[in-house]
């Protein structure tokens, strides 16, 4: 493998725990949230122990230290995705809030009744519900790129949809259920040729392989820290500078203003225009540390390692009678294996696996329309990250055989 997996695992304290006496944890739910390395925990602890203060408002030593840490993290995140400037990185609570920020600011300022928004059938609810709300409010027309039987986007259908003259094309870079890695650069290029603005849900891509927003030429990209070895409660919206500067503020309050009078206010410059109130300072520090940690390991190395784990996992799972995998082959997907077992509900699968310490997710994974597409109510989902091992895949397979025996 491209890096020392044992050394990597030593960086993550939670991976060493036992869920019950004699039952070690096998964590295969990183698509939902990842674990945190010591470097991230230490960075957040160091902020609270030594530099805890509010930012941008004070001139005392702690306030200046806290502000520096907060902005240094922003600069690190910008480097991580190759943003042209740190001011194009907006702190939010998560990917969901980042998408909603675009929906409530850019979209409501630019879309009217009859305008077309194109999404896909594999979207997370976070990239569906904001557009449903906008459609109900403004009469915006929603169209969807179909998903093929093997879990890929139908790009021929997409090109036909582009003839409708959409104002926005929004899609997930990598499906949280199918694992499909969509051809983002091509989708964006075609959208721009049709005159559309693009928004990419990068929640599952940015943590797992190199993402360069300038190379993609994406207009907006949203992602979260907690899926990329960082803390919960903080995410990012990247946007092209001209778009961000033209957008109205999202929330009103402190720090997002330049001046305030009884009957008027002037908004701050970007990124602060979109960051009202005291932010998640420690979480921002942890986010910066997470980017530094992943960069230290190497995103190319992480992607290669995860591909090897995923390939192995799919081979092992395909051996199990009655198990149906969803999504494309390993060469077209990231570290996700969603599956069903004949005659056994996914929740039962997950609950019995947990008895052996194997943590997987069961349900519709906030992608209910995609499950409806495949005529199933739910799937079990195992997901992998830089700290996953082939031994853990073997434990998963052993556990599934126990599930089958239990229901035989």
- Distance, CA of 362 to CA of 32 (rounded, Å): 11
**Cis ω on the peptide bond leading into residue 290 (within 30° of 0)?**
no
- Distance, CA of 76 to CA of 228 (rounded, Å): 14
Which whole-number Å values give the CA distances from 249 to 102, 207, 265, 276, in the listed order? 10, 28, 11, 9
- Sign, Cα dihedral of 285, 287, 290, 292: negative
Half-sphere exposure of 23 (CA within 13 A, CB side): 12
- Distance, CA of 258 to CA of 253 (rounded, Å): 11
Written as six digits, the tokens of 176 are 């949280």
Written as six digits, the tokens of 98 are 């980042």
- Distance, CA of 18 to CA of 7 (rounded, Å): 19
291 an active-site residue?
no
Beta strands at 358-359 and 26-27: parallel, antiparallel or unpaired: parallel
- Percent helix, strand, coil in the chain, to 5, is 45, 20, 35
- Distance, CA of 367 to CA of 121 (rounded, Å): 9
- Distance, CA of 358 to CA of 360 (rounded, Å): 6
- Distance, CA of 133 to CA of 309 (rounded, Å): 39
Set 39, 135, 190, 366: catalytic member: 366
- Distance, CA of 338 to CA of 400 (rounded, Å): 13
Burial 51-76 (b: 16+ CB within 10 A, else e): bebbbbeeeeeebebbbebbbebbbb
- Distance, CA of 223 to CA of 156 (rounded, Å): 28
The catalytic residues are 366
């Amino acid at each position: 493998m491209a890096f020392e997996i044992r050394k990597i695992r030593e960086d993550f304290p939670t991976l060493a725990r036992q869920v019950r006496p004699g039952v070690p944890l096998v964590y295969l739910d990183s698509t939902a949230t990842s674990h945190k390395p010591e470097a991230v925990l230490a960075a957040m602890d160091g902020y609270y122990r030594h530099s805890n203060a509010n930012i941008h408002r004070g001139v005392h030593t702690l306030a200046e230290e806290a502000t520096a840490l907060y902005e240094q993290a922003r600069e690190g995140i910008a480097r991580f995705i190759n943003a042209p400037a740190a001011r194009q990185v907006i702190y939010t609570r998560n990917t969901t809030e980042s998408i909603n920020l675009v929906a409530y600011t850019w979209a409501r300022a630019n879309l009217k009744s009859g305008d077309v928004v194109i999404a896909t059938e594999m979207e997370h609810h976070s990239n569906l519900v904001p557009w449903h709300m906008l459609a109900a409010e403004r009469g915006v027309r929603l169209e969807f790129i179909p998903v093929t039987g093997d879990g890929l986007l139908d790009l021929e259908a997409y090109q036909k949809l582009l003839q409708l003259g959409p104002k926005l094309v929004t899609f997930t870079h990598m499906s949280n259920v199918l694992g499909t890695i969509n051809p983002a650069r091509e989708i964006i290029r075609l959208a721009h040729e049709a005159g559309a603005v693009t928004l990419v849900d990068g929640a599952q891509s940015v943590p797992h392989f190199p993402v360069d927003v300038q190379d993609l030429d994406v207009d907006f990209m949203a992602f979260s820290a907690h899926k990329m070895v960082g803390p919960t409660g903080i995410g990012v919206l990247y946007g092209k500078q001209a778009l961000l500067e033209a957008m109205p503020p999202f929330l009103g309050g402190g720090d997002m203003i330049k001046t305030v009078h009884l009957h008027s206010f002037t908004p701050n410059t970007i990124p602060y225009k979109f960051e009202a109130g005291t932010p998640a300072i420690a979480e921002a520090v942890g986010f910066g540390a997470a980017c530094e940690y992943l960069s230290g390991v190497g995103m190319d190395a992480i992607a290669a390692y995860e591909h090897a784990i995923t390939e192995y996992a799919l081979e092992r799972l395909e051996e199990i009678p009655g198990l149906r995998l969803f999504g494309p082959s390993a060469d077209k997907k990231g570290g996700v294996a969603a599956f069903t077992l004949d005659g056994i509900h996914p929740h039962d699968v997950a609950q019995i696996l947990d008895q052996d310490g194997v943590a997987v997710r069961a349900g519709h994974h906030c992608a209910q329309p995609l499950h409806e597409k495949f005529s199933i109510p739910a799937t079990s989902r195992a997901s992998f990250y830089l700290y996953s091992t082939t031994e853990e895949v073997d434990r998963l397979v052993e556990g599934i055989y126990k599930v089958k025996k239990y229901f035989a």
